[in-house]
Structure 1
Amino acid sequence: MNHWNIEKLLSFHSAVPDFQNGKDTPRDYLERCLATIEARDHEVKAFVTLNLDGARAAADASTERYRKGCPLSLVDGCPIGVKDIIETFDMPTQMNNDLYKGW
């Protein structure tokens, strides 16, 4: 049974061979991840902020590196989520507290 009602999303580790042989790309993998977030986050509420433009630009760059046969590392193109209590230089950190809104 598919509890999430979405197409099966492979683990990143399982997807890498398809990136290497051209059957899949980091950009397409990211879009499936984003579709999962869009479909389920209204219930799960796991994400406060998404950097869609940055994620897509990074996935496109990774896709190009895989096409050239030179990914940066074993995790090149892996989408990540950062907990809202970890400060980042380019994303707001609210720590689930209105006192830190816009921090």
Structure 2
Amino acid sequence: MIPPEQHDALHARLLPWARPDGSPCYLRTDGHGYVSRVADEIEAVQLAMGAEVLDCGRPIIAATGATVTELRFTALRLAECLADALRIAESRGGRLQRDGGHG
């Protein structure tokens, strides 16, 4: 149970993972708890993986001899990384709006 004095300090944060059914997962938090720190770490990993997939994917896309299978695999991985990055941007944008652009 959340004490009444803390209720207004807690906000819903979009987490960098989804529920098993694919729907968004939110956390009511003040931004300083364990799950928030785990979410921050996962976001950092997701962004780093996105950069790595992009670095690996560019030569495949540019290669004139790339197969349809290679291109499809690359496109799927890039789409996954883009989805992660958009979820992170939505989460961070919501927190910036809520905090008046200061964090």
TM-score by length of structure 2 reads 0.29
Which is richer in strand? 2
TM-score by length of structure 1 reads 0.29
Which is richer in helix? 2
Which of 1 and 2 has greater Rg? Answer: 2
